[in-house]
Amino acid sequence: MTEVLQATKSALLRLSPVGATLWIIRIGIIALLLWGVVGSIIANRYSAAQWGDFVVFGLAIGSIYALVALGYTMVYGVLRLINFCHGDIFMFGAFSAYFAAAPLARAGTLEEDPVLGLAAIFAVAMGISAGLALLVERVAYRPFRHVQSLAPLICAIGASFVIQQSARGLFGSTVKAYPEISWLQGDFSVLSWAVPKLQAIVFLAAVTVMLLLYLVVMRSKLGRAMRALAEDRDAAALMGIDIDRVIVFTFLLGGLTAGVAGVLYALIFTQVHFFMGFVPGIKAFCAAVLGGIGNIPGAMLGGLFLGTVESLGPALVLEGLNIPAPYQLRDAIAFVLLVLVLIFRPSGFLGERIQRRA
Amino acid sequence: MSFEIVTTSFRAKVRRRSLPGLALACGAITAISACYVCLMGLAVMFNDRWIVSGVLSLGQLLVGMLPLACGCYLAVRASGRSARQILFAAAVAGTLAGGGLVALLLLGETTALRTIFVNASPALRKFLSFGLGPGLASLVLCSGAALLALSGAALCLARKRLRSALVAGFGTCLSVGLLQDLLRIFLDGEGLPKALREHLFDWQGLTWFAAIEFFAAAFLLRWIWPQLSQRLDTVAARRGSGFRRALRWGLIVASIAFVLLLPVLGGAFLGQVMMLVALFILMGLGLNIEVGLAGLLDLGFVAFFAIGAYVVALTTANSEFAVAALPFWLALPLAAIVAAAAGLLFGLPVLRVRGDYLAVATLGLGEIVRLLVISDTLKPLIGGAQGILGVPKPTLAGMTLASPSHLVYLSLAACLLVAYCAWRLQGSRIGRAWIALREDEDAAQALGLNLVGIKLLAYGLGAAFAGIAGGIFATMVGSVFPHSFQLIISINVLALIILGGLGSIPGVIVGALALVGMPELLREFGEFRFLFYGLVLVIMMRFRAEGLWPSRASRRSSAILEEPG
Amino acid sequence: MQTKGRSIVAAIAGAVGFAAAAMHIESSVAETRGPVTDPVGVVEIDKGEPLQIGVYQVLSGPDTANGVDQKRAIEIAFAERDNILVGHPVLLHIEDSQCTPEGGQTAATKLAAISDLVIVLGPSCSSEATAGAPILWNAGIPSIGTSTSAPRLTAPERGLEFAGFLRTSYNDNDVGSSAADWAYNVLGVRRATTIHDGSVYTEQLANVFAEQFTALGGTITSREAVSPTDSDMRPVLTRIAADAPELIFYPVFVNAAGHITRQAKEIDGLEETQLLGSDAVFTREMIVAAGRAVVGFSFVANALEPDALGEGYPAFVERYKQTYGEAPIQGSHHQAYDAASIAIAAIEKAAVTNDEGDTYIGRQALLDALYATRDHKGLTGILSCTEHGDCGHFNFAVYEFTNSDPESFSPGVNPKKVYP
């Protein structure tokens, strides 16, 4: 007993003010969480089916976050840079594909041959997103290739605004709605549980894209080159890898995934709007950090986790804390998670330790 | 991460490209840019604002600048070639650019371009075709663009003296045309003869003879400038250094007097604009400490501004949420202290975070504060979306500082105080510690610097300055609504310190004048404000990363890099 | 050293002294110009000179669509008369007020500094008017708010500085309480939920509705809020569904309203729930945003009288489409048009033109003419201004969308009036 006391006492004495603060934060967060969860469970407001619904909705939006996060994570892994305008590239792809979707709907192709119609829409979105990503790379990242600094980040912030406002100026500030595709409506029944078809397809699509990406990065030659660049850029150059080409390829992959994410988002939420990419973009970055930046399965995991927590959190925790209108603070959850992860586990769930302890 | 290396625009690589390829590429890019400007609605919207009444509108200027810049760029890039080759290449590029606009015009006439691009309107077609038929309009566009490109190339090929004189002439003409609102108010208000104002401006813009007069005056002045300055130098050399020093001090005193008198002479609107500029200078000085000196990119800066405003509102307002009834002069320091405490609180969780992560983490923290302030959760305490009304104006010696013309002196005084603090901090041990932190965090720690203390101090001081700005803002507007504290303000402050030059105090002032002052004067184009900020960020980081008025350290390192050998 | 210090001190002292001596607040004083004497001031417009009118709306940021829409409506109001008023061409000074109080203050200060500015139309946000209207009236310029609906702006205790402020937008109090009355008495619901998006307008409406509904005896099961940029409304709708309300009142703007309307159909427990919005969604864009789910969606709005509708509104929409390439993009454009219309009528009444063609307008006379507006035919109905500046004609009505084809948008048909 006295040894335990002695050990605790010496541990406390060795604690710096910063360490003490971190412990206070840890204990505080856990206390709040417990209080909230207990409060919600006692209130017993939701049925099991409704809790299930929260999770399903969370997984659906989480899949979108995951797809966008994949783009962030790849670019960061290779370039050590956050592509701040990735969210807006996602928006632009979705928006441009609308101009393919609307005529197709009018011509009836989406009803007669939905697969072909969808393929065309995806192709347009992926093409435009990829093109835009390459343009951003050329303008905002290539000049800063040889310096490690904040300049590309600031340039990307500027590019993000330019893309957003260009979408507003070119296409108008009103909302555009994707046509509804009857093939995608309805429910699947999984274990006597009705899962909306669309959400399930989005989830499956996200998983498929992730697997494809994983295969490309792990098995193909360019993927190997990407990993080499991520390890040590100069050594990779010395090994004969064409850095420019690999970086362009990385951005290309990121743009393609953003295009896919854009169309899926538009299919679920139907509305596209010039401001729709900014907030999902930041949240997707939080998701990428949660999962471990530079890590592809990590991005997937982080996205799904973030989506679920966002959907479930206000009902589960905030309501128990008696916070009125808890869903108004929904965006704050993503940021709180980000800050917590950066304090306590900067490498994320699946990432390697990239920051040493102070 | 080394800041020095990025904050210069020195480029070592010079690639030599073939002239035809260069011309075609330039022409294509110009064509795309011109179409972009038209389809964004910038051309038609700016067309309503005349610079020279009936002759040149802002829209025409915007579209016309593009081939001009193209020609100039060609001349600079192909500087080894003969003049005739360059001029020919410029003509080709210009024609290509004009062709792009022609294609846009024809597409607009024939297809339903408007279903995709909302601005492909009849007004745009009229703008592009000058009211002529399509064939004639195409000819005019192509030849016009070619001529502009030729003039651009000729301008850049001309001798330095001629070029700078021409640029000065056009620049003066354009500035007077753009600032006509301000000048009109000034001319109207000062009891100057109405005839003068009528000679210079009609209801829409500069009259064309006034334009010619301004152009001629500026041109001549710039032309004889070398001789004039030589004359001044010889006079100064003869009279000795005392004369020169007296001249310099005279200039400084005159400019101080000018700035102090400006709100009185220029009216309430100019006072209001100066106030906003002063508030952004305050915030810029704060962020300058965090980003420019200490290298901690903080995108959640607006949160401290909000905290300062709310503290002043909650302690002085005549409202049900008020916590106390302090006079403004007590509430303001309190706002600074509370904001500094908030800065420390923000800094604690992100102490170990660096670089890009720090940017997004601080952005998240700023957004958390914004969401909390607007939320129903804190509504009983701070008013929620309905805000806090009834913040009184400060009283000094029985006189209420009610109008912007009075409050502006308060903010100027605050600016001076804060700038002095920032200047002294920069040169002190703490300032050097921050710079060491920015250059290489690990080396700084290895040298024995207490990183935690330094970082927290940077956050705290930056936040305190923003808190002061927030306090003055609350009393200036008289009410505090949470919708005033969006992310765009943080981006705005970041953009202005980058524009001015990181780590440089005069740079903050230049940046604030450019990014806050100018848009206030071009307010009807508020739709494009965010586009403007984005473009400024991209262009500045690409072409002149050290800013418009770089700090002495940046200038020194640029000089070193540019030395031969 | 000493001379330098002394000269600086002298310069600063001189400047301060000059400034102190010159410190006076610009304000209007009684004056006589030409044939007109007025206690507040007189605007003089010489022959051939333009008649200057100010406009300040939100033209940047998330609410851009609202302000741009209203600015365009004002421009159309004058374009319909070929931009001529009392024999002078009309010059519009347009300012962006950013839907923030400091934006409103700056815009109003700039407009107030223009000599001989007759009247100002705007702003769009109540927070802008709180800061801007007093500045304008201090310079003798009346202003007509176009979508400023906060009750305190025309409350009897609003203060003398707001004496120059009128508005054509309705009062939030009227809308919210009428909606609650209708829900309780006509629809017969006893359990309702409100959703707002954190903006001044929507929160006010939701609060007024909730208070009145509770006062009548109903139960508000929960008062929710979302962010205007949220797109995934399913979790918050699931939360609402747990309490089984009979009605959800969400006076939010088109983006959020579209998402809520669409997604409510997918939530178990909300199939029978009535969805109710406010007239922020009285625009074609709502049909686009909500798609098929818009059928059966109702909202409370100002009744657009049949004869005003028949005369003015379709023609207005056509002209809008011709000029700007899209149909009106938000729900307040008719109020802006009516503000311009009232202003035109008042100016015509108060202006005095002498034989040479110079026009004189007394500022107090203009304000009196504005307050004296009675039975004016506008796009939103027959308008009369109260003594506190409420010109907004509020005839409570409930509209319901009937068709999900955006081309079928036609006020009165789709959406059709279901009450009264």
pLDDT tens column, C196-255: 998 888 898 999 999 999 999 999 998 999 988 888 999 999 999 988 899 999 999 888
B477–C110: do the CB atoms touch at under 8 Å? no
The answer to whether residue C13 scores a pLDDT higher than 70 is no
| C39, C159: one domain | yes
**CB-closest option in A173, A275, A315 to C329:** A173
Confidence of residue B190 (pLDDT cuts 50, 70, 90): low
- Within 10 Å of residue C26's Cβ, how many Cβ atoms? 16
B187 or B249: whose pLDDT is higher? B249
DSSP β-ladder status, C84-85 and C88-96: antiparallel
- Shortest Cα–Cα distance, B417 to chain A (Å): 29
- Taking contacts as CB-CB distances below 8 angstroms, the residues of chain B near C198 are 374-375, 385, 482
Instruction: Please tell me the distance from the alpha carbon of residue C57 to that of residue B523, in angstroms, as a whole number.
Output: 11
The answer to whether residue B365 scores a pLDDT higher than 80 is yes
Bridge partner list, C275: C248
The share of chain B scoring above pLDDT 70, in percent, equals 93
Decide: C73 and C329 in contact? Cβ < 8 Å: no
**CB-closest option in A289, A328, A358 to B352:** A358
Is B140 in a helix, a strand, or coil?
Answer: helix
DSSP label at residue C147: S
> What is the number of residues in chain B?
565
Q: Which pLDDT tens digit goes with each residue over C40-74? A: 888 888 888 889 999 999 887 667 778 888 999 99
Confidence of residue B524 (pLDDT cuts 50, 70, 90): low
B356–A149: do the CB atoms touch at under 8 Å? no
DSSP readout, C1-67?
-HHHHHHHHHHHHHHHHHHHHH--------EEETTEEESS-EEEE-TTPPEEEEEEE--SSTTHHHH
Q: Residues 6 or more apart from A92 whose CB is under 8 A from it? A: A128, A129, A132, A163, A166, A167, A262, A277
Q: Which pLDDT tens digit goes with each residue over C21-37? A: 444 444 556 777 778 88
The answer to whether residue A153 scores a pLDDT higher than 90 is no
**Domain at C43, CATH number:** 3.40.50.2300
- Taking contacts as CB-CB distances below 8 angstroms, the residues of chain B near C210 are none
DSSP label at residue B525: G
pLDDT of res. B304 = 95
Confidence of residue B7 (pLDDT cuts 50, 70, 90): low
Give mean pLDDT, residues C322-336. Answer: 79
pLDDT of res. B215 = 86
Rg (C-alpha) for chain B, rounded Å, is 27
Give mean pLDDT, residues C171-194. Answer: 90
B261 or C1: whose pLDDT is higher? B261
- Shortest Cα–Cα distance, B73 to chain C (Å): 33
A353 assigned to some structural domain: no
Q: Which residue of A has its CA nearest to B536?
A: A158
B531–A161: do the CB atoms touch at under 8 Å? yes
**Domain at A236, CATH number:** 1.10.3470
The answer to whether residue B559 scores a pLDDT higher than 70 is no
Decide: C143 and C96 in contact? Cβ < 8 Å: no
pLDDT of res. A357 = 34
| C164, C178: one domain | no
Confidence of residue B338 (pLDDT cuts 50, 70, 90): very high
Confidence of residue B417 (pLDDT cuts 50, 70, 90): very high
Q: Residues 6 or more apart from B493 whose CB is under 8 A from it? A: B280, B283, B284, B287, B301, B302
The answer to whether residue A69 scores a pLDDT higher than 90 is yes
DSSP β-ladder status, C31-33 and C36-38: antiparallel
Q: Residues 6 or more apart from B511 whose CB is under 8 A from it? A: B284, B495, B496, B497, B498, B499, B500, B501, B547, B548
Q: Which pLDDT tens digit goes with each residue over B59-74? A: 888 899 999 988 888 8
Tell me the residue range of the domain where A70 lies.
Answer: 57-313
C309 assigned to some structural domain: no
pLDDT of res. C26 = 45
DSSP label at residue B450: -
Which two structure tokens, joined as six digits, stand for C61? 């940021």
* Mean pLDDT for chain C overall: 84
Decide: C103 and C126 in contact? Cβ < 8 Å: no
C15 assigned to some structural domain: no
pLDDT of res. A63 = 92
Within B375-428, residue ranges assigned H as helices are 379-382, 404-427
Q: Which pLDDT tens digit goes with each residue over C119-160? A: 999 899 888 898 899 889 988 899 999 988 888 888 888 888
Q: Does C238 touch chain A (CB under 8 A)?
A: yes
- Shortest Cα–Cα distance, B366 to chain C (Å): 16
Confidence of residue B3 (pLDDT cuts 50, 70, 90): very low
B478–C131: do the CB atoms touch at under 8 Å? yes
Instruction: Please tell me the distance from the alpha carbon of residue A356 to that of residue A8, in angstroms, as a whole number.
Output: 25
- Taking contacts as CB-CB distances below 8 angstroms, the residues of chain C near A328 are 198, 224-227
Tell me the residue range of the domain where C196 lies.
Answer: 173-303+397-419
The share of chain C scoring above pLDDT 90, in percent, equals 32
- Shortest Cα–Cα distance, A313 to chain C (Å): 10
Confidence of residue B181 (pLDDT cuts 50, 70, 90): confident
Give mean pLDDT, residues B415-443. Answer: 90
Rg (C-alpha) for chain C, rounded Å, is 24
Question: Is C368 exposed, middle or buried, given 0-12, 13-18 or 19+ CB atoms closer than 10 A?
Answer: middle
Q: Is the peptide bond before C123 cis (omega within 30 degrees of 0)?
A: yes
Domain boundaries, chain B: 17-157, 161-237, 266-493
The answer to whether residue B52 scores a pLDDT higher than 50 is yes
A343–B371: do the CB atoms touch at under 8 Å? no
B484–C113: do the CB atoms touch at under 8 Å? no
Q: Does C291 touch chain A (CB under 8 A)?
A: yes
Is C220 in a helix, a strand, or coil?
Answer: strand
Instruction: Please tell me the distance from the alpha carbon of residue A214 to that of residue C111, in angstroms, as a whole number.
Output: 60
Q: Which pLDDT tens digit goes with each residue over B129-139? A: 887 887 888 88
C321 assigned to some structural domain: no
- Taking contacts as CB-CB distances below 8 angstroms, the residues of chain B near A171 are 116-118
C17 assigned to some structural domain: no
- Taking contacts as CB-CB distances below 8 angstroms, the residues of chain B near C107 are 523
pLDDT of res. C305 = 57
B263 or C184: whose pLDDT is higher? C184
C285–A45: do the CB atoms touch at under 8 Å? no
Instruction: Please tell me the distance from the alpha carbon of residue B305 to that of residue B279, in angstroms, as a whole number.
Output: 10
pTM, full prediction: 0.87
How many domains is chain A built from? 1
Q: Residues 6 or more apart from B438 whose CB is under 8 A from it? A: B3, B293, B294, B295
pLDDT of res. B4 = 46
- Taking contacts as CB-CB distances below 8 angstroms, the residues of chain B near C22 are 264
| C375, C412: one domain | no
CA B215 vs. chain centroid, Å, equals: 25
A342 assigned to some structural domain: no
The answer to whether residue A203 scores a pLDDT higher than 80 is yes
**CB-closest option in A143, A161, A282 to B363:** A282
How many domains is chain C built from? 2
Which two structure tokens, joined as six digits, stand for B478? 């008289």
Look at A265-274, B4-13, C38-47 and tell me which has the smallest mean pLDDT. B4-13
Q: In chain C, which among 317-346 make CB contacts under 8 A with chain A? A: 326, 329
Give mean pLDDT, residues A228-235. Answer: 87
pLDDT of res. C342 = 92
Is C418 in a helix, a strand, or coil?
Answer: strand
pLDDT of res. C22 = 43
**CB-closest option in B117, B295, B495 to A170:** B117
Chains near B (3 or more Cβ pairs under 8 Å):
A, C
Residues of A engaging C, defined by a Cβ cutoff of 8 Å: 45-47, 49-50, 53-54, 57-58, 61, 168, 172-177, 180, 196, 269-271, 273, 275-276, 278-279, 310-312, 314-315, 319, 324-328, 330-331
Look at A162-166, B82-86, B510-514, C25-29 and tell me which has the smallest mean pLDDT. C25-29
The share of chain C scoring above pLDDT 70, in percent, equals 90
Q: Which pLDDT tens digit goes with each residue over B466-516? A: 999 999 999 988 889 898 898 888 988 988 888 888 888 999 999 998 888
A291 assigned to some structural domain: yes
The answer to whether residue A50 scores a pLDDT higher than 60 is yes
Closest-CA residue to C100 (of C181, C169, C200): C200
- Taking contacts as CB-CB distances below 8 angstroms, the residues of chain C near A331 are 227, 230
pLDDT of res. C165 = 93
A320 assigned to some structural domain: no
Confidence of residue B2 (pLDDT cuts 50, 70, 90): very low
Q: Which pLDDT tens digit goes with each residue over C160-171? A: 888 999 998 888
B484–C102: do the CB atoms touch at under 8 Å? yes
C252 assigned to some structural domain: yes
Instruction: Please tell me the distance from the alpha carbon of residue B215 to that of residue B210, in angstroms, as a whole number.
Output: 8
Look at B208-222, B547-561, C95-109 and tell me which has the smallest mean pLDDT. B547-561
Q: Which residue of A has its CA nearest to B296?
A: A150
pLDDT of res. C306 = 56
| C201, C294: one domain | yes
Single-letter code of the amino acid located at A10 = S
Q: Does C190 touch chain A (CB under 8 A)?
A: no
pLDDT of res. B15 = 63
Decide: C214 and C237 in contact? Cβ < 8 Å: no
Confidence of residue C10 (pLDDT cuts 50, 70, 90): low
| C350, C253: one domain | no
A254 assigned to some structural domain: yes
A91 assigned to some structural domain: yes
